[in-house]
Structure 1
Amino acid sequence: MNQIILASHGELAKGMLQTVSMLIGETKNIYAFGSYREEQSIAVKVRAQLHMFDSADDVYVLTDIFGGSVNNEILGILSEFPNVTLLTGMNLMLVIGIASQTNKIAQDTLATIVSESQNGVVNCNKLIEEKMGMEMDDL
């Protein structure tokens, strides 16, 4: 089974889980953890959740920002869990792409999901200008 852990600074991961649940329905295999200055390390919380999974599960941990404290803490425990794939730069398209896969995700499929989530970031003003030859003020 695929398991997904969302980990972020503050409430982003919890909000992401709430939004994904609203869009695709109940999500029994997605867990959200936030990091706060006054609490224990997020790695402690994530490690505890990872120990709850079956060793045959494929686990995807999605963090908010590369090089941030959350991502760095998860990198620090990655060697303990060979069935974990860590992805950073979490966005809604990435979470839905991973969550919509029910079977083991092949590496080429994962690469497509990551690419599509990256391509989902669009400057709409620039797109309109390019496609329609219009300035935003002309609309």
Structure 2
Amino acid sequence: MEKEPIILLTHGGWGESLLQSVKMIVGQTDNIHEVVLKPEDNLQDFLERVKNQIDAVNWREKLLILTDIKGGTTSNVALRLSRDYNILALSGLNTAMLLDAVMKQATPYTETDGEEILQASLENCQILKLPTTN
């Protein structure tokens, strides 16, 4: 059975580099698509490209869309399209978030999955300190 799709919405296309990093960890990945917001894009052009990508993939319950910046064009487009499609959208894309999403691709995404993916992302963000010795 085909894995559930993931759509990445990023400014400038850095999602592909992020995906390459995830592949170093888990190996081959499938059914992950990026729609790049380019500097020359207007909102309508980007919205149409995202809509076309959504229409090109098949999902069972909720389509997972990961965006880079909350409040930015990428997340605003995901929110706008959630009126017309059953979308689970998460902002703050990073390696931990994408890695956890990839690990959950075998089954349809749920709201609980979204919460777990977000939590994995948050737990990955820490100040790193060496332990102190007494």
Task: Give TM class, smaller chain.
Answer: 0.7 to 0.9
Tell whether the 8 Å contact from 2:62 to 2:110 is kept in structure 1 after alignment. no
Distance 2:98 2:110 in 1: 16
Distance 1:59 1:8 in 2: 17
Question: Counterparts in 2 of 1:1-139, with a 5 A limit?
Answer: 1-39=3-41, 41-54=45-58, 56=60, 58-82=62-86, 84-101=87-104, 102-124=106-128, 127-128=129-130, 131-132=131-132
1:55 CA drift (Å): 5.4
What do you get for the CA RMSD once the two structures are aligned?
Answer: 2.1
Higher helix share: 1
Tell me whether 95-104 or 12-21 shows the greater mean CA deviation. Answer: 12-21
SS at match of 2:83: helix
Whose relative contact order is higher, 1 or 2, with alpha carbons under 8 Å and at least 6 apart?
Answer: 2
Unaligned runs of 5+ residues in structure 2 are none
Structure possessing the higher radius of gyration over alpha carbons: 1
Q: How many residues in Structure 1 have an aligned counterpart in Structure 2?
A: 129
- Residue 54 of structure 2 aligns with an amino acid whose one-letter code is L
Under a length normalisation based on structure 2, what TM-score does the superposition of the two structures give? 0.83
Under a length normalisation based on structure 1, what TM-score does the superposition of the two structures give? 0.80
Going from structure 1 to structure 2, the CA distance change for 1:110 and 1:91 (only over 3 Å counts) comes to: same
Among all aligned residue pairs of Structure 1 and Structure 2, give the percentage whose two residues are the same amino acid.
22
Distance 2:10 2:112 in 1: 26
SS at match of 2:5: strand
Tell whether the 8 Å contact from 1:14 to 1:34 is kept in structure 2 after alignment. no
Tell whether the 8 Å contact from 1:5 to 1:60 is kept in structure 2 after alignment. yes
State the Cα deviation string for residues 69-121 of structure 1 (Å, max 9, x = none): 21112212221112x11000011111110111111234334322211211101
1:57 CA drift (Å): 5.2
Distance 1:133 1:72 in 2: 48
Distance 1:46 1:17 in 2: 18
SS at match of 2:125: coil
